[in-house]
Structure 1
Amino acid sequence: MINAVAAEALLMRKRLAPVIVGATWVLMVVGFAFAVPYIVYSVLDPADASRAELLRILLPAAFASTSLSSYPLFGGAIMLILGVLVTGSEYRWRTWTARLSQGPDRVQVLLAKLVIGAMVTTVIAVVAAVAAALASAVIAAVEGRPADWPSVSSLLGSLGAAVLISAAWMSVGAALGVIFRGTTVALTVGLLWTLGLENALSGLAGVIPAIEPVRNILLGSASGSLVGSLGAPTQGDGGTPGVVDYLSAPAACLVLVAYLVVTTTAAAVLMHRRDIT
């Protein structure tokens, strides 16, 4: 297993996909969570009551929850794409046979891919948090405001939530890559479900109470609830789309961990039982 992880780490370092996905996400966090809102703040009428609140969430004291609020909808989709590329690319390039004929068995190779994928998402989350802190510090300096940073516990909680959400979405993408034996269909199904059908079910749950239990176990709902429980404004309160308050923090974490376990198990069973081509 150690050799499999080392091989996957080397393979990941040789690929451009993690760099492209990570850079894309960092730019999205800085751009959509800080740069665009600051531009809106700059052009608002000083008498507008919402102007002060908009600046507040861009300052260092709130940067952790502001950057985290991007994860439930946009960050999740980015990490799902990364997960699909981690496993689905092997089918597209037809390299599974060469990989599996030279060492560890199928399940070990798959688990090694998921371990390295989780490590990559952790690195991306850390870099995104640093970039968000820098963007927030620049805004504070431009506005002449003090840089009052959150407590260490708040920062660790925000980073831990970002890593858990990212890993859960990545594992779903990796499982889809195995299920559909490639990238194209896996990406189509994954993005259609998470960005389309999940939102439709969440909307229906507001008018059909019987659907609420289903809504509460959706990946997007759990991600948004975890972010909302850490202080980010919910979508209903004018916050970022995808941030909700359907579940408590422990329940949201439990659902996300369940996705990690179920998707990893499903992918491992399929890899073990069926032909790899």
Structure 2
Amino acid sequence: MSDVINVARAELFKLVRRPAAWTLLAASAVLSQVFGYLIPYLSYAGGDSGPMEGASKEAILASTLPDQLVSNTLGGFPVFAGALALVFGALVFGGEYGWGTVKTVLTQRPGRAASMAGQFLALASAVAVGVVILFALGSVSSTAIAVAQDRSIDFPSFVDLTAGYGAGLAIMLMWASLGALLGVVLRGVALPIGLGVVWVLGVENLVTGVSSSVLTALRPLRDVLPGVNAGSLASAVMPTRPPGIDAPPGVSSYVSDGRALVTVACYVAVCLVAAMLTYRRRDVV
């Protein structure tokens, strides 16, 4: 166990000094703030520009207030922030192949299993901190809007916040685990990122759209896709949206909340086991 902790500490020491890790966090934060708060608020404050998406101006403002913190933070996790988490996982696990340092890592005493477990622990810790930061930024933005518009500052209850954070952590960890698996299997970073992003932003949306309209036979396949289950899990913990405000892209209720949670957890476990078996059973060069 000490080897796993030591590897995790070394990975975290490396991650906090990698510009790419901070860039991905900054991109997630910018997307969350722009689409969750800035655009709706500008639409509300735009005078005679008209309501956004057919919603009343009061509903638009209500969607940016503190009681919608969980919705605005989790809104991008199933798709856009999830794609960035996948990239992060590929960087953590596939970067050593790109740098040619895999053999060097394995000569430092910890075995392959301990090395992989330590990397995953570092990945999970970084994702957990990232989700906290996104929630914190959302609370600051929503509070600022509430104060500026002289509205009440009513945050979700502790139970709702905990459920939202847990769901967000599970979703982001699932995407990061998928990126990690691709990084190990494909022994690099560029190809896993390319394939992963195409899957998240393209293939899943295509399968979901087709199965919901012209080819209903694909619905069983749709219901086990990672993005669909991530969106269903996010939808389950989100509060009721103001009238006329649609759910963010990718947030749906195609499967029940219990099934979504189990499926997301299974993706994390399967990715970790598959990555570890692959790492242990083949040559590293």
TM-score (norm 2): 0.92
Query: Structure 1 residue 221: deviation in Å?
Result: 0.4
Give, as a single letter, the amino acid of the residue that structure 1 aligns with 2:195: V
Q: Which residue number corresponds to residue 90 of structure 2?
A: 84
Query: Structure 1 residue 14: deviation in Å?
Result: 2.9
Could you tell me which of 197, 203, 206 is aligned with 1:191? 197
Q: Which residue number corresponds to residue 111 of structure 2?
A: 105
Q: Which residue number corresponds to residue 251 of structure 2?
A: 243
Could you tell me which of 214, 221, 225 is aligned with 1:218? 225
Could you tell me which of 241, 249, 253 is aligned with 2:261? 253
Query: Structure 1 residue 233: deviation in Å?
Result: 6.5
1:130 has 2:133 as partner: no
Q: Which residue number corresponds to residue 236 of structure 2?
A: 229
1:150 has 2:153 as partner: no
Could you tell me which of 62, 66, 72 is aligned with 2:68? 62
Query: Structure 1 residue 47: deviation in Å?
Result: 7.8
Q: Which residue number corresponds to residue 73 of structure 1?
A: 79
What is the number of equivalent residue pairs in this alignment?
Answer: 276
> Which shifted more, 109-118 or 41-50?
41-50
Query: Structure 1 residue 62: deviation in Å?
Result: 1.2
1:166 has 2:172 as partner: yes
- Unaligned 5+ residue runs, structure 2? none
1:216-255 CA-to-partner distances (Å, cap 9, x unmatched) read 1111101100111113579x97221100011121111111
Q: Which residue number corresponds to residue 37 of structure 2?
A: 34
1:37-95 CA-to-partner distances (Å, cap 9, x unmatched) read 11112226498552221111101111222221111111100100100100111011001
Q: Could you tell me how far apart the structure 2 residues matched to 1:44 and 1:228 are?
A: 32
Could you tell me which of 261, 271, 277 is aligned with 1:263? 271
- Residue identity over aligned pairs, in percent, reads 32
Q: Is the 8 A contact 1:217 1:255 kept in 2?
A: yes
Q: Is the 8 A contact 2:7 2:115 kept in 1?
A: yes
Q: Which residue number corresponds to residue 8 of structure 1?
A: 11
1:209 has 2:219 as partner: no
Q: Could you tell me how far apart the structure 1 residues matched to 2:265 and 2:137 are?
A: 27
Q: Which residue number corresponds to residue 100 of structure 2?
A: 94
1:105-135 CA-to-partner distances (Å, cap 9, x unmatched) read 1122112111111110110100110000000
Q: Could you tell me how far apart the structure 2 residues matched to 1:35 and 1:232 are?
A: 20
Q: Could you tell me how far apart the structure 2 residues matched to 1:11 and 1:275 are?
A: 24
Query: Structure 1 residue 98: deviation in Å?
Result: 0.4
1:135-158 CA-to-partner distances (Å, cap 9, x unmatched) read 001111111111111111111111
Query: Structure 1 residue 169: deviation in Å?
Result: 0.4
Q: Is the 8 A contact 2:207 2:222 kept in 1?
A: yes
Q: Could you tell me how far apart the structure 1 residues matched to 2:47 and 2:188 are?
A: 47
> Which shifted more, 237-246 or 188-197?
237-246
